[in-house]
């Protein structure tokens, strides 16, 4: 099963707060932003705001590939989290998203 989540600047996995576990990135982003008092204009703005707050979007696929989307340089904590995934046998593919 594919798992999607965000990593905050401290390398903590950010899953859904409310509703079913897992959930999509949009739902996770909306919950995180609402908790911080940010009201995104639309779905694209959810991602833009999350990236602005230094979150990294992560998708772990069943085949062992992990996609890592970011706009800025990763923090040392995010790098440590992702290195642990790589050490556990996952293949990481970094995708730099244009701002």
What's residue 98's pLDDT?
Answer: 85
Confidence of residue 20 (pLDDT cuts 50, 70, 90): low
52 vs 56: CA distance, rounded Å: 10
Confidence of residue 2 (pLDDT cuts 50, 70, 90): confident
**What's the structural domain count of the chain?**
1
3-state percent breakdown (helix, strand, coil) of the chain, nearest 5 = 35, 25, 40
What's residue 21's pLDDT?
Answer: 53
79 vs 16: CA distance, rounded Å: 22
Domain extent for 41: 3-96
86 vs 13: CA distance, rounded Å: 16
For the segment 39-62, the average pLDDT, to the nearest whole number, is 95
């Amino acid at each position: 099963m594919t798992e999607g989540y965000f990593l905050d600047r401290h390398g903590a996995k950010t899953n859904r707060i409310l509703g079913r576990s897992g959930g999509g990135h949009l739902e996770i982003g909306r919950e995180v932003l609402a908790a911080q008092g940010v009201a995104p204009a639309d779905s694209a703005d959810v991602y833009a705001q999350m990236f602005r707050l230094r979150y990294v979007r992560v998708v772990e696929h069943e085949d062992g590939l992990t996609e890592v989307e970011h706009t800025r340089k990763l923090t040392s904590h995010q790098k440590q989290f992702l290195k642990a995934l790589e050490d556990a046998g996952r293949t990481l593919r970094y995708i730099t998203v244009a701002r």
